[in-house]
Chain A
Amino acid sequence: MNRIKTATHRRRLTELLDPDFMSRLDSLDLLSRKILKSKLQGERRSKRRGQSVEFADHRPYVAGDDLRFVDWNIYGRLEQLFLKLFLEEQDLTIHIVIDISASLSLGEPAKELFIKKLAAALGYVSLVNNNRLTISSFSEGVKGQLKNMRGRNYIGAMAEFLLTSDCEGPSHFDSSCRQLVAGRTGSGIMIVLSDFLFKEGLDTGLRRLISRQYDLYVIQVLSPEELAPEITGDLKLVDIEDDDTAEITISGALLKYYKRNITAYCNELKEFCARRGAAYVLANSADSVESLTLNYLRRIRLLR
């Protein structure tokens, strides 16, 4: 029964990722640049000494220590009680945050699809590697959340969550971040997928997300139309989110300034991230998710 359900869910996931790609993802794992604390015992090294097979250090025995960890070989040689200390292996919390504001639905190909694919791929990797996965979606606030998923069984739920969240509504990044941070516990990796074209609250929102506990990855997804617009004529540009309009007459100079602006905007975001220890990735929605995941994200060591 359970297997059948899984099968149907996996079929749902194939709407986002094709099986070939998934099989290549099987060999990957997520890495954190920080060794982070976690509550549950997992497969990751943590700074805390704990129960695992990996030896870390010795320390003299003090009363009350668990006798199971006494190094009896040293006692036989030195007749002193030393305790073996092991590095505790912990699980990794992955928090994927996707933007589902209306602006994501635009682009050719749509940024929405790209973001969902990327989220699905990262989520799949996390689940396959028994990491703790939380997926949140936000627009004007946090719209939906799947918390603390672990193991392949959750693949279906994740796919359904991704596929059923529609892109609509305006975006309020700052307030969404406040909600996210409030609901966040422990430490881990936080990956934010968005176009980051927010009229306000970008800086404050990102500042909220950056903390010592969380390794922050900012992945900005822009469509080719936004990166290098190919429009001509006299246009009235309408903002899909707040219906703001801008009347323009396309000219060489205007396009030049636009390109200069978007480059500056991305660089500013990148610098902001770099200064605060967050990783920044710019993705073009026309590129393939596969190559981004398999090549670029491995190169920046988000994936292994």
Chain B
Amino acid sequence: MEWLTPLTALYAAAATLPLLLLLYFLKLKRREQIISSTLLWKRAIQDLQVNAPFQKLRRNILLLLQLLMLLAILLALAGPILSLTTGPSRRFVLLIDRSASMSANDIEPTRLDAAKKQAGTFVESLRGKTFFSLKDESDQVMIIAFDDHAKVMCNFTSDKHQLHSTIEAITAGDGGSTLAEAIVVARAFAQSPGTEANNRSAETPAQLILFSDGRIRDVEQIAVGTGELIFNCIGKSQQNIAITAMQARRSYEDPDEISVFATIANYDTEETTCDVQLSINDNVQAIKAVTIPPQKTSDTGVAAQPGKVSIDFSLSHVDPGVLEVRQLQPDALACDDAAWAILSPPRKLTVLLVTAGNVVLESALKACPLAGLELCSPDEFEVMDFGTISVEQPYDVIVLDNHIPAQLPKCRYLVFGHPPEGIDVLVPEQLENQVIVDWRPRHPVLKYVNLMNLFAAKCFKITLPRDAETLAEFGQSPALALVRRKGSIFLLAGFDILQTNWPFEPSFILFCYNATAFLGTQAGQNQETNLQVGQPIIVEGLAPETPAEVSGPGFSGNEIKANAAGTIRFPGIDKVGVYGLKVPEQPLRLFAVNLLDSQESNIEPMREIILSGQAIQAQDNPISRSNLPLWPFLVGIALILALLEWLIYNSKVRI
């Protein structure tokens, strides 16, 4: 027997009991009636008193009944619970899946709500702190919500009220589901005594209880003891149509032309036809009907592949905008019905070449598709207003050819020769006769660039800071490196171009093209705008402590501040949609956050999850209470007492 809300009942008792007694002892207001003579009535009253020895008691029996009734109601208010479980107290960790697939509405209202409800029932059935007992046999529960990351919602506690509010506070996310982190966290917490477990250490491992649809990505990385994990499977339908891939690209030849590619997947076992709608800035541009084949069930039944259809749109759009691809068929999961891409305006670069005179470089840059190429001598560069360059960014890329400027305005630099000072790059010595031994052909800068034949007669040995990226290496020194410092990006080539055979290689032109294009995309708007759920929004190159406002689906105006390095990092993305980041006096930066996760879109519930080869079956029945709330009985007793009182009252006044 335990009490859920004993204090409430005590307060109510303190308020109501004296009130009832007061009411009873207040003088009854009697109706006056004039009669001929009180003679006979007085005699009758006397007779009544004389002939009824228990008159006092009978007068008070109504009060007694009322008191009993009130007592029953008060006890009901205290929430007594008859616990049917016995034994020592246990510890549980509730792992609640809040990934995208748990937002499916095949169970009303959503799977997550069903999971929360089950978790609530589970919490209800725990043994709480007994109010009037010395022995503490309360069960303790910890709650972890997980999608791609685990989040400890509440440490071990037996406070059911707190647990309930914690469960209520879990919101659906649009991320994937990885359980390993959650289990690691749960075990870590389970080993330390909980907040209330005075000196009780975790002599028994905590029981893990998982509420999920079974679509967990990293089952191979998890190993649990026998009986350590109890799995409650939530979900029943697998009917879902998802956009699992989407990309929008401007054509190289004609930047006004946009090609949009999307893959639509059908997870149902039947063929489906749905409309796919393309819109820019919420203006519908095109609708296509596609027929998607059903899910392919392989013989093993495990690796079922969804039916997929690719679809492409091409359209002409010059301005920037938000491009949305949406499938219009209603299905169980809503967050994968649409995907967004941010269209940047077609843009050409303006490049400043600072050189004392370098025909090779100049002609190579001229060959690149640039909006403008400006030339200036090192002396002219030194007298430029660096403040203006930092703030207004008139140049997308500055190419430094054998020049070490005294100051470095914030920009993107392609540096040939000695690296600039103040960016933590050291030049201990000069080297001779170096050849390239390795390079990263996958990096955008070195795409299609073959450095096999590059030979440098003289070069600088450079020592890079730890966070620099090395793109190509000579035998004794990095040849090409990417360094980010003070909001600027430096692409360093540690040699004078004229001391190498590079100008005679076709890869040099390609390198120039790639380097300016890459540095150009690193500028302002052209950073990564298409994110997946869980990836942070990162904006670099701002003044330190710059305030900004983030808005997104379901919220707006979240204040955020750049750190000392001028970087804004907004980690709180767990919903798909279009996010905007507004820095004062700068155009709004848009970010598209998409699910685009073929596995998460597969919402078919798994009745069995295999953790490192160990199969764990889902519980057959949803969690039910293992204890008995007593309040309905008490209310029943109160009702019976009320009835009894009515009967007695009636029999007393019956004529």
Contact surface of A with B, Cβ cutoff 8 Å: 103-104, 106-107, 111, 195, 197-199, 223, 225-226, 230-241, 244-255, 257-258, 260-262, 265
Given the complex, which residues of B lie within 8 Å of A254, measured CB to CB? 44-45, 48
Q: Does B371 contact A (CB under 8 A)?
A: no
**Which of B32, B34, B39, B41 has the most C-beta atoms of chain A within 10 angstroms of its own C-beta?**
B41
Q: Does B38 contact A (CB under 8 A)?
A: yes
* Number of residue pairs spanning A and B whose beta carbons lie under 8 angstroms apart: 110
Given the complex, which residues of A lie within 8 Å of B33, measured CB to CB? 231, 235-238
CA distance A246 to B38 in the complex (A): 7
B48 engages A253 (CB within 8 Å) = yes
Q: Does B655 contact A (CB under 8 A)?
A: yes
Apart from A197-B36, A226-B36, 4 more pairs, CB < 8 Å: A236-B32, A238-B34, A245-B38, A261-B40
B32 engages A246 (CB within 8 Å) = no
Q: A232-B653, A261-B44, A261-B47 are in contact. Are A240 and B28 (CB under 8 A)?
A: no
A233 engages B34 (CB within 8 Å) = no
A233 engages B31 (CB within 8 Å) = yes
B37 engages A238 (CB within 8 Å) = no
**Which of B28, B32, B43 has the most C-beta atoms of chain A within 10 angstroms of its own C-beta?**
B43
CA distance A254 to B655 in the complex (A): 9
**Which of A195, A230, A246, A260 has the most C-beta atoms of chain B within 10 angstroms of its own C-beta?**
A246
Given the complex, which residues of A lie within 8 Å of B29, measured CB to CB? 234
Determine how close the nearest CB of chain B comes to the CB of A250; give it in whole angstroms.
6
Q: A234-B28, A252-B655 are in contact. Are A199 and B37 (CB under 8 A)?
A: yes
Residue of A nearest to B50 (CB): A257
CA distance A260 to B31 in the complex (A): 24
Residue of A nearest to B28 (CB): A234
A237 engages B40 (CB within 8 Å) = no
Within 8 A of A (CB), among B611-629: none
CB-contact partner of B41 in A198, A223, A232, A237, under 8 A: A237
Given the complex, which residues of B lie within 8 Å of A258, measured CB to CB? 40-41, 44
A106 engages B39 (CB within 8 Å) = no
Q: A233-B31, A253-B48 are in contact. Are A107 and B36 (CB under 8 A)?
A: yes
Q: Does B61 contact A (CB under 8 A)?
A: no
Determine how close the nearest CB of chain B comes to the CB of A221; give it in whole angstroms.
11
Interface size on B, residues (CB 8 A): 27
CB-contact partner of B654 in A235, A245, A252, under 8 A: A252
Closest 7 CB pairs of A and B: A103-B36, A258-B44, A236-B30, A197-B37, A257-B47, A257-B44, A251-B652
Given the complex, which residues of B lie within 8 Å of A252, measured CB to CB? 651-655
Given the complex, which residues of A lie within 8 Å of B44, measured CB to CB? 248, 254, 257-258, 260-261
Q: A234-B30, A251-B653 are in contact. Are A239 and B35 (CB under 8 A)?
A: yes
Given the complex, which residues of A lie within 8 Å of B45, measured CB to CB? 246, 248, 254, 257
Q: A232-B653, A235-B30, A235-B31 are in contact. Are A248 and B37 (CB under 8 A)?
A: no
Residue of A nearest to B47 (CB): A257
CA distance A234 to B655 in the complex (A): 14
Given the complex, which residues of B lie within 8 Å of A240, measured CB to CB? 34-36
CA distance A272 to B642 in the complex (A): 50
CA distance A236 to B651 in the complex (A): 21
Determine how close the nearest CB of chain B comes to the CB of A166; give it in whole angstroms.
16
A235 engages B651 (CB within 8 Å) = no
Residue of A nearest to B37 (CB): A197
Q: Does B52 contact A (CB under 8 A)?
A: yes
Within 8 A of A (CB), among B6-29: 28-29
Residue of B nearest to A200 (CB): B39
A-B contact list, 7 entries, CB within 8 Å: A103-B36, A107-B36, A232-B655, A251-B653, A253-B48, A254-B45, A254-B48
Residue of B nearest to A247 (CB): B30
Given the complex, which residues of B lie within 8 Å of A226, measured CB to CB? 35-36, 40
CB-contact partner of A257 in B32, B38, B48, under 8 A: B48
CA distance A250 to B28 in the complex (A): 13
A239 engages B40 (CB within 8 Å) = no
Determine how close the nearest CB of chain A comes to the CB of B38; give it in whole angstroms.
4
CA distance A258 to B32 in the complex (A): 18
Q: A254-B45, A255-B655 are in contact. Are A244 and B30 (CB under 8 A)?
A: no
Q: A237-B41, A252-B653 are in contact. Are A106 and B47 (CB under 8 A)?
A: no
Determine how close the nearest CB of chain B comes to the CB of A106; give it in whole angstroms.
5
A230 engages B655 (CB within 8 Å) = yes
Given the complex, which residues of B lie within 8 Å of A261, measured CB to CB? 40, 43-44, 47
Q: Does B466 contact A (CB under 8 A)?
A: no
B40 engages A103 (CB within 8 Å) = no
CA distance A236 to B42 in the complex (A): 12
Q: Does B298 contact A (CB under 8 A)?
A: no
Given the complex, which residues of B lie within 8 Å of A239, measured CB to CB? 34-38
Q: A234-B30, A252-B652, A254-B48 are in contact. Are A195 and B38 (CB under 8 A)?
A: no
Q: Does B300 contact A (CB under 8 A)?
A: no
Residue of B nearest to A197 (CB): B37
CA distance A282 to B74 in the complex (A): 58
Given the complex, which residues of B lie within 8 Å of A237, measured CB to CB? 32-35, 38, 41
Determine how close the nearest CB of chain A comes to the CB of B358; give it in whole angstroms.
115
Residue of B nearest to A265 (CB): B40
CB-contact partner of B32 in A103, A232, A238, A250, under 8 A: A238
A244 engages B36 (CB within 8 Å) = no
CB-contact partner of A195 in B28, B36, B42, B653, under 8 A: B36
CA distance A280 to B651 in the complex (A): 37
Given the complex, which residues of A lie within 8 Å of B38, measured CB to CB? 237-239, 244-246
Q: A107-B36, A257-B51 are in contact. Are A236 and B653 (CB under 8 A)?
A: no
Determine how close the nearest CB of chain B comes to the CB of A223; give it in whole angstroms.
7
Residue of B nearest to A226 (CB): B36
